[in-house]
Copies of this chain bind each other. A is one copy, B any other.
Amino acid sequence: MPSRWCPTPEQVRILEEMYRGGIRNPNPSQIQQITAHLSLYGKIEGKNVFYWFQNHKARDRQKLRKKLIIRHQQLLRHQQPQNHHHLLHFLEPPPPPPPVLLQLFHYNNSSGFLPQISNDTAKWRVDYHLPDQRREMDKYYATVMRTNGSDWRMMMMLDVSPTSTTTTTPPCCNIVNNKPLKTLELFPITATGLNDDKCTTSLLDSTSN
């Protein structure tokens, strides 16, 4: 059993297609749909989809930045040093040209799930090398999804898998991944667990001093 999700080629293909289609920060509902669909091609959970988009977007952006820097430096070589920051502003960011077509999902908005999209999209400056200055380019990519209600990302993590490893996913909320939650006892304020952070003070091994 692998310790992490290993997407099938089909799954990757579909995800990339969606990405190219313009999906960047799928909302919980979208994640549910995507997960349901992709689970036809192999084991997958909502969080995998969530992470995939996060990583893919981040690394896409990263690649773009490198390209921009390289191009910038090339320009520096070919021209005299003069206010090159402005040049960068004309290097439009390739990856997500504000996509309008090929929206892959639609669903009932009646339940109030759909977030409002703030529409201050147009501005996307790059401001690359100015240190200590916010790069506006990021804002272009930045999601503006603001979920109205209280759903949030819990929903996106719900497992949808129709792939039957066990019989069927039990419909009871007290069971998560076959583990009953059992509403643990309230606050035995005695110290025992040490299950937190690295706050273990395991000063046992006296390697230092």
* CB of A100, distance to nearest CB on chain B (Å): 5
Bound complex: CA A155 to CA B175 (Å) = 10
A103-B196 contact given A172-B172, A176-B151, A181-B158, CB 8 Å threshold: yes
Residues on B with C-beta less than 8 A from A102 are 191
Check if A202 is an interface residue, CB within 8 A of chain B. Answer: yes
Residues on B with C-beta less than 8 A from A202 are 117, 119, 121-122
Q: Is the CB of B104 within 8 A of A189?
A: yes
Q: Is the CB of B199 within 8 A of A98?
A: yes
Q: Is the CB of B119 within 8 A of A199?
A: no
Interface residues of A in 142-180 (CB under 8 A from B): 142-145, 149-155, 157-158, 160, 169-174, 176-177, 179-180
Question: A194's closest neighbor in chain B, by CB?
Answer: B103
Beta-carbon contacts of A72-116 to B below 8 Å, as 1s and 0s?
000000000000000000000000101111111111100111110
**Which bracket fits the contact residues of A?**
35 or more
A195-B149 contact given A36-B186, A113-B179, A208-B122, CB 8 Å threshold: no
Q: Is the CB of B122 within 8 A of A184?
A: no
Question: A204's closest neighbor in chain B, by CB?
Answer: B119
Bound complex: CA A139 to CA B198 (Å) = 9
Q: Is the CB of A198 within 8 A of B144?
A: yes
Interface residues of A in 32-51 (CB under 8 A from B): 32-33, 36-37, 45-47
Check if A133 is an interface residue, CB within 8 A of chain B. Answer: no
29 pairs of residues in contact across A and B, judged by CB atoms under 8 Å: A22-B196, A23-B196, A23-B197, A24-B196, A25-B196, A33-B186, A98-B198, A100-B194, A101-B191, A102-B191, A103-B190, A103-B195, A103-B196, A104-B187, A105-B187, A105-B193, A105-B195, A106-B188, A106-B191, A107-B193, A113-B179, A114-B193, A117-B195, A122-B203, A140-B198, A144-B198, A149-B179, A151-B176, A171-B174
